[in-house]
């Protein structure tokens, strides 16, 4: 399976109802071995950080078998808007 930033973005949008997703391939040579994501979803409302990360990890379970490093930041829409208002 070819894992791309676009594939990760589309999957998170479809399965977690993300309203904003940023995906960066942080591999030294952009070989899709390391990714950094920012996910904004209303489904994160009322969830702890651990619960949010588990949701993302479950969504990308197959992809994470192939990825060596994965960094994620998960925000509710309210948190995202507050962060961008500053």
- pLDDT tens digits for range 3-17: 899 999 999 999 999
pTM of the model: 0.90
Quote the mean pLDDT of the chain. 93
pLDDT greater than 60 at residue 51: yes
What whole-number distance in Å separates Cα of residue 45 and Cα of residue 18? Answer: 12
Given this model, what pLDDT does residue 1 score? 56
**Mode of pairing for the β-strands spanning 20-25 and 34-40:** antiparallel
User: What are the tens digits of pLDDT across the range 56-77?
Assistant: 999 999 999 999 999 999 999 9
Beta strands per DSSP E along 1-86: 20-25, 34-40, 69-75
**Fold of the CATH domain 5-85:** GMP Synthetase; Chain A, domain 3 (3.30.300)
Cα-based distances in Å from 27 to 36, 70, 77, 79 = 10, 10, 28, 28
């Amino acid at each position: 399976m070819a894992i791309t930033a676009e594939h990760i973005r589309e999957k998170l949008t479809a399965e977690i109802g993300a309203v904003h997703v940023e995906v960066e391939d942080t591999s030294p040579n952009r070989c899709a071995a390391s990714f950094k994501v920012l996910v904004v979803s209303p489904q994160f409302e009322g969830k702890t950080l651990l619960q949010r990360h588990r949701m993302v990890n479950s969504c990308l379970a197959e992809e994470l078998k192939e990825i060596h490093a994965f960094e994620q930041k998960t925000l509710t829409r309210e948190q995202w808007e507050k962060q961008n208002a500053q």
